């Protein structure tokens, strides 16, 4: 992987991680377009640059992370379901992560759902609650379990989960960002631990790519979050629905014509 390719992948990660459009699907398109072959380092790189995306949430909302112990307890309650299901179904999830066609179909299915989300939750979009109780957090956490299927999009699942328990768009989206921190951190640490346990290590050139990728992902994710919140509050999900359907069709086209056969 070249430095330019690393930067492009980091830009893709920063833009797509917190939007309801599936970062995995976009990584497939990006890597295929650039001809990046999948290997142990490339897989580790796409996981490791999530640290940059995580840091963007903490920096943008740093006051929230200092406000109270309850904030962390609520996050923990929401985090637990996906952690438990991910642990119990680890082998099944790993098998799905190798299926490019699964990503394509789930992108399309999720896109169709997003076309109707604003109508389904029209009452809570503007007038919904801003309070996140423990039962609400648990229900959002159960929705996050859906994102263990590649292509579903963690942010899409959790935002819809937030709307379903009566939160308004902004609160649902922001809680999705907060929940990403423990969820992505746990997944990243696990994957990198597995990378080292398999006898791999990062060389000096690879460390440069990792540092660059994290810085780029951090900066891009900060901009993406700000723009997304503003757009979502005013316009809703319909555009993201159409976009997901288009991306899903592209991925299926690449897959069935043999251009994209694996997830990096």
Range of the domain at 82: 3-256
CA nearest neighbour of 14 among 44, 51, 43, 41: 51
pLDDT (0 to 100) of residue 255: 87
- The highest-confidence range among 4-18, 24-38, 195-209, by mean pLDDT, is 4-18
Q: What is the mean pLDDT of the chain?
A: 90
- CA dihedral (97, 154, 151, 4) in degrees, to 10, reads -80
| Mean pLDDT score, 151-156 | 91
237 inside domain: yes
> How far lies 251's CA from each of 102, 128, 226, 236, 244, in Å?
10, 36, 28, 25, 10
Total structural domains within the chain: 1
Share of the chain above pLDDT 90, in %: 59
pLDDT (0 to 100) of residue 20: 92
263 inside domain: no
261 inside domain: no
Q: Residue 128's pLDDT band (boundaries 50, 70, 90)? A: low
105 inside domain: yes
| Mean pLDDT score, 26-46 | 85
């Amino acid at each position: 992987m070249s430095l330019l390719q690393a930067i492009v992948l980091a830009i893709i990660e920063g833009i797509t991680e917190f939007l309801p459009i599936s970062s995995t699907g976009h990584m497939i398109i990006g890597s295929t377009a650039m001809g990046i072959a999948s290997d142990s380092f490339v897989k580790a790189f796409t996981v490791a640059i999530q640290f940059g995306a995580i840091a963007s949430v903490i920096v943008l909302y740093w006051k929230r992370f200092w406000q109270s112990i309850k904030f962390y307890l609520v996050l923990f309650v929401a985090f637990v379901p996906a952690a438990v299901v991910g642990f119990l179904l680890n082998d099944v999830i790993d098998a799905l992560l190798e299926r490019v066609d699964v990503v394509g179909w789930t992108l399309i299915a999720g896109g169709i759902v997003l076309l109707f989300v604003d109508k389904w939750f029209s009452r809570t979009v503007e007038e919904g609650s801003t309070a996140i109780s423990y039962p609400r957090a648990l229900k959002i956490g159960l929705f996050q379990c859906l994102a263990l299927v590649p292509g579903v999009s963690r942010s899409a699942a959790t935002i819809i989960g937030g709307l379903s328990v009566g939160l308004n768009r902004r609160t649902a989206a922001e809680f999705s960002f907060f929940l990403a921190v423990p969820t992505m951190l746990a997944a990243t640490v696990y994957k990198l631990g597995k990378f080292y346990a398999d006898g791999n290590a990062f060389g000096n050139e690879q460390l440069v790519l990792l540092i660059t990728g994290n810085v780029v992902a951090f900066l891009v994710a900060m901009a993406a979050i700000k723009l997304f919140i503003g757009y979502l509050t005013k316009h809703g999900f319909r555009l993201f629905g159409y976009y997901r359907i288009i991306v899903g069709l592209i991925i299926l086209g690449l897959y069935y014509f043999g251009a994209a056969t694996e997830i990096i």
